[in-house]
Amino acid sequence: DDAQMQWFNNCTMKMNCITLSNWGDHVLSNQHDHVNCEITLNWPTGPLALSNKPKWKVSCSFDELRLSLPQEDLALLQHIISSNLGEASRHLDEWNLLQRLPPDVRHSFFRTAFVAFGYDKKDVTPSTFDVRVSIPLLLFAFRDRTQGQIAVIQCKDVVWKYLKFVDLVSRQRVSCDISLIGRDGDSERVMLSSHDVWSLSAGDTQLPSLVYMSTTSPLGDNDKELAIDNACIHIGYRPWNVLVNFFTCLPSPKFLSPSEVIQVGDRWYRIGDGNREVSVGKIEQTGWILELGQSSASLPTTKNRSATFSFDLRLCRPRIAIKSVEAAVMLAMENIIFQH
């Protein structure tokens, strides 16, 4: 029976030889690499689409991705990720207000807010989704304007999953094998690896494994957990101090207004004198007004409640290596757990 048959839309996009650059035309991706990406999307259609959860299924895979990031570009990247992926859901306050409306008014609004075949309309209800990104090799090279490249983070077999089902709980999980190399003057220094100080020349047979998980409830409560297994932390004051200063001194990311950019073909170019950049702190986020014949101010208000946050750091079988030219000390532990 066609009335009981579920249909799906399927879309595949392939992008080859991708180049990432900032406004100053500084290439962020390795110019000698060809960044290729494939994205597949799947979503239901037809009369039963609304009952199919999760609605959006997205899979994205890269061949590999190598990025060279100065502080300004890293700050902007962090803001983009936190603003678009770190939110519990957009317009959550308005969505909670909708639940407090009389059933007939709420259902009437839903009928006008949703279009045929269950496609979402902007600013209504958070959708459900299953998003997965996989990258065999992800490399971040952090660059200082005066010191040049100060550290390289290498991540292998990166898998990021972002899930939201009918309970509207956001679940993120990132897993990878990781290593960190810094600089001490003109020399490279291992900062995080799986080997000990007595086998540096042997190379890594297996990198430390990292798993990051974040769970956010519809009320905004958030629990984060970072677990690193089989890691050897190499103590060196100068490379760690340089890396810490790199992250603690990140500038505020800046944006250009629509009057300062122009699109030509598939690229955007800066126009004007560039003196009207807007920093993140000056951007005001305004909510939307429910089109229900009344203003949002007359709707019932939810009781103020402070969201709760927690963070767990777990190091399984960590080792701390302290060495000099003639001697070395290894401190091995079974577990280190930090909770906040």
| Stretch (H or E) spanning 77 | helix 71-84
Question: Shortest CA distance to 320 belongs to which of 155, 192, 189, 199?
Answer: 192
137 with 131: CB under 8 angstroms? no
Q: Which residue has the tokens 């390289």?
A: 152
Collapsed DSSP state (helix, strand, coil) of residue 75: helix
Tens digit of pLDDT for each residue in 281-319? 443 333 333 333 343 333 344 456 678 899 999 999 999
Tell me the pLDDT of the chain averaged across its residues. 77
Per-residue pLDDT, 176: 95
Q: Which of 89-93, 128-132, 267-271 has the highest mean pLDDT?
A: 128-132
The torsion angle over the Cα atoms of residues 208, 211, 212 and 218, rounded to 10 degrees, is: 180
| Stretch (H or E) spanning 262 | strand 261-264
pTM greater than 0.85: no
**Out of 23-37, 66-80, 100-114, 116-130, which region has the weakest mean confidence (pLDDT)?**
116-130
| Stretch (H or E) spanning 311 | strand 309-316
Q: Which two tokens stand for residue 45?
A: 């259609």
Reported confidence tier of residue 271, pLDDT bands at 50, 70, 90: confident
DSSP per-residue codes, 194-247: SS-TT-GGG--SSPPEEEEEEEE-TT--EEEEEEEES-EEEP-HHHHHHHHHHH
Reported confidence tier of residue 164, pLDDT bands at 50, 70, 90: confident
Tens digit of pLDDT for each residue in 108-150? 776 665 444 334 444 445 578 899 999 999 999 998 888 888 9
| Burial of residue 321 (number of CB atoms within 10 Å: 0-12, 13-18, 19+) | buried
